[in-house]
């Protein structure tokens, strides 16, 4: 299967942990007239779920996510709507969920949910069809940190961060919260990309894997359904609390991290982060062994986008090194970076085995198979890598430590 930029969806599928749940049945309503979407002008919030289930996760939409959404109480002030693309059924459905019932209010032609034009359409459509004071958009599917999310098997396609950016900018719809019900998307690369749009306030995602059950939508959004006056930071915190309530009770949930991050705070302070990456690059030759030791001891994602490391824990490992600790300029820059990340995290849940996680990860490709495949994509196509010196640092680090890179 040929994917853009050589991404292997099979590699992601192999490591995702899936959970069986009971199936929930619904009824499909008739298609709505093509003259335009009907307008539901009630609601202070709209929770939109972009369900890219045209792949091996299809059963987890009805079996887990929809089942949880049906547990939410009915409300006139919050619109719960899903834009759904399944693998086994051609076409795209717009599904409304309210008070234990769901209905496909419109069925459209098959769409490629890995294409930015489709996401742009969905954002534009939801803003017209369900106008409200606040919008939470949830991207539902596989995820791979800086390497994108939302695979569409029918179209042999995958969405990258530049496409996510293009979709949001193209739709020109303000998003109070963008959540990723997908693996490993709480990365600085993701957060910075959406922050660049100027249209996204908060990002909710996991540094780690996300199980097949995904977001516990009932626990996450029950406070909002009961009190639609809740602010975006309160709703983002509710999402973390609901996640914690669900996964803290599951014995295998040792990796189930989730964080809510102020995207603007990352964007506004990218200069602070860049000052640190510049020093990392400047000190590369004398500190290369110290960097290697810090990387070895740092908290990293269990799999997918290896190594996707925790930014604050990396900082801790670096400044605890006796050699680096004597370099006050480097220590100050590292602590400034750590402060920016820590202050940007609005809420966070970590199980005990992941206590070192701070809420935001960063890619450190380290002469492994993935870095050899994707290093050019990362350096050239990820805004965080190009607007700080991090992409150049990784290139030079790998050139110095393993020597296989061609000359730039």
- Measured CA to CA, the distance from residue 218 to residue 67 in angstroms comes to 9
- Given a cut of 70, whether residue 337 has pLDDT beyond it is yes
Tens of pLDDT, residues 266-301: 999 999 999 999 999 999 999 999 999 999 999 988
Q: If pLDDT is split at 50, 70 and 90, which confidence band does 10 have? A: very low
139: which 2 tokens? 């991207």
- Measured CA to CA, the distance from residue 170 to residue 189 in angstroms comes to 20
- Confidence at residue 5, expressed as pLDDT on a 0 to 100 scale: 40
Pairing of strands 200-205, 157-159: unpaired
- Confidence at residue 373, expressed as pLDDT on a 0 to 100 scale: 82
Mapping DSSP to helix (H, G, I), strand (E, B) and coil, where does residue 244 land? helix
- Given a cut of 80, whether residue 408 has pLDDT beyond it is no
Place of tokens 């602070």: 272
Tens of pLDDT, residues 183-213: 999 999 999 999 999 999 999 999 999 999 9
Q: Which fold has domain 41-265?
A: Rossmann fold (3.40.50)
- Confidence at residue 98, expressed as pLDDT on a 0 to 100 scale: 95
- Given a cut of 90, whether residue 311 has pLDDT beyond it is yes
Average pLDDT for residues 115-132, to the nearest whole number? 97
- Confidence at residue 39, expressed as pLDDT on a 0 to 100 scale: 59
Mapping DSSP to helix (H, G, I), strand (E, B) and coil, where does residue 138 land? strand
Tens of pLDDT, residues 90-105: 999 999 999 999 999 9
- Measured CA to CA, the distance from residue 124 to residue 174 in angstroms comes to 10
The residue length of the chain stands at: 408
- Confidence at residue 366, expressed as pLDDT on a 0 to 100 scale: 80
Q: What is the mean pLDDT of the chain?
A: 89
- Measured CA to CA, the distance from residue 159 to residue 142 in angstroms comes to 10
- Measured CA to CA, the distance from residue 95 to residue 68 in angstroms comes to 14
- Measured CA to CA, the distance from residue 79 to residue 56 in angstroms comes to 28
Contacting residues for 42 by C-beta, under 8 A, at least 6 apart: 76, 77, 79
Strands (E) located in 16-174? 27-28, 45-53, 78-86, 92-98, 101-108, 134-140, 149-152, 157-159
Q: If pLDDT is split at 50, 70 and 90, which confidence band does 302 have? A: low
Contact 168, 355 (CB under 8 A): no
- Confidence at residue 301, expressed as pLDDT on a 0 to 100 scale: 82
- Confidence at residue 77, expressed as pLDDT on a 0 to 100 scale: 94
Average pLDDT for residues 7-14, to the nearest whole number? 39
CATH 3.40.50.11970 placement within the chain: 41-265
- Given a cut of 80, whether residue 26 has pLDDT beyond it is no
């Amino acid at each position: 299967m040929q994917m853009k930029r050589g991404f292997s969806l099979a590699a992601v599928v192999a490591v995702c942990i899936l959970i069986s749940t009971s199936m929930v049945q619904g009824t499909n309503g008739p298609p709505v007239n093509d003259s335009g979407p009907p307008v539901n002008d009630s609601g202070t919030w709209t929770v939109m779920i972009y369900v890219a289930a045209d792949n091996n996760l299809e059963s987890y939409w009805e079996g887990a996510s929809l089942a949880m959404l049906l547990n939410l109480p009915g409300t006139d002030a919050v619109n719960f709507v899903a834009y759904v693309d399944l693998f086994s059924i051609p076409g795209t459905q717009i599904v409304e969920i309210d008070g234990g019932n769901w209905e496909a209010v419109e069925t459209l032609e098959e769409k490629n949910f890995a294409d930015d034009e489709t996401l742009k359409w969905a954002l534009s459509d939801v803003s017209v069809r369900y106008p409200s004071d606040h919008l939470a958009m949830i991207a539902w599917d596989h995820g791979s940190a800086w390497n994108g999310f939302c695979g569409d098997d029918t179209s042999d396609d995958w969405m990258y961060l530049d496409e996510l950016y293009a979709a949001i900018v193209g739709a020109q719809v303000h998003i109070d919260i963008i959540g990723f019900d997908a693996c490993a998307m709480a990365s600085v690369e993701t957060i910075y990309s959406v922050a660049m749009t100027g249209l996204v306030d908060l990002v909710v995602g996991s540094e780690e894997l996300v199980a097949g059950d995904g977001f516990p939508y009932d626990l996450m959004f029950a406070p909002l359904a009961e009190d639609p006056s809740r602010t975006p930071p309160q709703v983002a915190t509710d999402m973390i609390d609901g996640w914690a309530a669900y996964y803290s009770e599951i014995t295998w949930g040792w990796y189930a991290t989730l964080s809510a991050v102020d995207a603007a705070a990352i964007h506004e302070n990218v200069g602070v982060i860049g000052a640190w990456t510049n020093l990392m690059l400047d000190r590369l030759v004398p500190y290369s062994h110290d960097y290697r030791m810090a990387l070895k001891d740092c908290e990293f994602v269990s799999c997918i986008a290896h190594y996707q490391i925790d930014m604050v824990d990396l900082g801790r490992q670096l400044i605890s090194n006796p050699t680096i600790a004597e370099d006050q300029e480097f220590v100050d820059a590292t602590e400034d970076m750590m402060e920016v990340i820590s202050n940007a995290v609005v809420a966070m849940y970590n199980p005990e085995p992941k206590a070192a996680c701070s809420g935001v990860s960063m890619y450190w490709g380290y002469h492994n198979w993935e870095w050899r495949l994707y290093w050019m994509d990362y350096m050239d196509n990820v805004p965080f890598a190009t607007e700080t010196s991090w992409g150049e640092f990784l290139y030079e680090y790998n050139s110095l430590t393993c020597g296989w890179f061609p000359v730039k």
